[in-house]
Amino acid sequence: MTGLSRIAALGGLALLAGCATSQGVQWGGVMDPVDIPDASVHCRIARVNLVEWGTVNNSEALALPLFANQNRETRTIPMIFDIDADGRPRNIRYTGDPDLLENGAIRDGIYRTAGGISRSRFAWADDAAVRFATDCPYEPNYEVRVY
């Protein structure tokens, strides 16, 4: 196989890999999926506290579409996630307008936001009987100014 044909073959594999991951969070899928146990509680009544929030910087990801529109705008990337017994975010998903998934920069922002959520850690109260929280909302606002 020549060098050029190897590159072409690798390019084909990359395309196949891209197709295989089309259910990623940035395409409307779920990051870090797990089954929800029968013993679970809604996040707003869960006895869990934030220990560390994963950082994310979406200003670059969202700057291009806003620059193209010559806008000063605030964007929200609404997300929702569950918290498992170990205090790790699971089932991270985007809950915003599905039409926005057509914009590559917005998809990148969704992926970065989900990554930040996945790096977060929570601690359960010692007396928490149920240790799986569902539907924890996260709606960060990103303001981008175009001068």
Provide, rounded to the nearest whole percent, the portion of the chain with pLDDT above 70: 68
CATH code where residue 118 lies: 3.30.2420.10
Query: What pLDDT band is residue 10 in, cutting at 50, 70 and 90?
Result: very low
Print the domain residue range for 32: 24-144
Q: Could you tell me if residue 12 is inside a domain?
A: no
Q: Could you tell me if residue 131 is inside a domain?
A: yes
Q: Could you tell me if residue 8 is inside a domain?
A: no
Q: Which residues lie closer than 8 Å to 54 by C-beta, 6 or more apart? A: 115, 116, 117, 118, 119, 120
Is the model more confident about 16 or about 108? 108
* pLDDT tens per residue, range 32-90: 999 999 999 999 999 999 999 998 766 565 656 655 555 556 778 899 999 999 999 99
Query: What pLDDT band is residue 146 in, cutting at 50, 70 and 90?
Result: low
Q: Could you tell me if residue 84 is inside a domain?
A: yes
Nearest to 76 by CA among 46, 48, 110, 42: 110
Work out the mean pLDDT of the chain and round it to a whole number: 79
Q: Could you tell me if residue 13 is inside a domain?
A: no
Q: How many domains does one find in the chain? A: 1
Contact, 107 vs 27, CB < 8 A? yes
User: Is it the case that residue 107 has pLDDT exceeding 50?
Assistant: yes
3-state SS class at 85: coil
Q: Could you tell me if residue 9 is inside a domain?
A: no
Q: Could you tell me if residue 1 is inside a domain?
A: no
Is the model more confident about 131 or about 140? 131
Q: Could you tell me if residue 2 is inside a domain?
A: no
User: Is it the case that residue 20 has pLDDT exceeding 60?
Assistant: no
